[in-house]
Amino acid sequence: MFLKKFAPDLYVQSIYDIKLDLLKKQGINTIVTDLDNTLVEADSPDFTPKLVKWLDDLQELGFKVMIVSNNSKLRVSNFAEALTVPYIYRAKKPIKTAFIKALKQLESKACETALIGDQLLTDILGGNRMGLYTILVTPVSEKDGLGTKINRRIERLIVPRMKKRGMLP
Ligand SMILES: [Mg+2]
């Protein structure tokens, strides 16, 4: 069914609500994450100590991590390099190309990879098309880039239909 392509496997308030030990038990060892409004507010250059701790926790638990963002080279490289996390910019999600590249670089399989993102039309759709375990988070802030604003309008049409069918809590 059409809506199913947009349905996340898991829906949490924020990245900090993801039970990392449970992911591990599910056989997931790789995390591919969106940047804007998933890790921090859209276009904010600042990362929080909490985010640094979260990334440390991931590493400690043995997860491989990559940031895959549709944003520009400047935005993504500045942010990711400061955190020493590998990244792909201008990913063109939901197109699969960047995810294929990410998995290749990380030497991970789709079935052992989780995708985290705040948008149904880019992150979740793309992750589902790749067969990743998709995790939707509530956007960190209401501030969105221009392209995202359009996507949000479409989301607002899709979300009530998904809720009606029990595909989103
Ligand atoms: Mg985002």
Report the separation in Å between the CA atom of 135 and the middle of ligand 1, taken as the mean of its atom positions. 12
Residue 87 in this model has a pLDDT that exceeds 80:
yes
Residue 44 in this model has a pLDDT that exceeds 90:
no
Report the separation in Å between the CA atom of 111 and the middle of ligand 1, taken as the mean of its atom positions. 22
- In order of 52, 77, 145, the CA distances from 80 in angstroms are 11, 5, 19
Q: How confident is the model at residue 66 (pLDDT cuts 50, 70, 90)?
A: very high
Q: How confident is the model at residue 144 (pLDDT cuts 50, 70, 90)?
A: confident
**Hey, what domains does the chain have and what are their CATH numbers?**
2-164 (3.40.50.1000)
Exposed, middle or buried: residue 29 (CB in 10 Å: 0-12, 13-18, 19+)? middle
Q: How confident is the model at residue 142 (pLDDT cuts 50, 70, 90)?
A: confident
Phi, psi (rounded to 5 degrees) for 88: -130, 130
Widest CA span in the chain: 42
Residue 2 in this model has a pLDDT that exceeds 90:
no
Q: How far apart are CA 11 and CA 18, in angstroms?
A: 9
Mean pLDDT (the chain) is 94
**pTM score of the predicted model:** 0.94
Report the separation in Å between the CA atom of 118 and the middle of ligand 1, taken as the mean of its atom positions. 5
Report the separation in Å between the CA atom of 5 and the middle of ligand 1, taken as the mean of its atom positions. 18
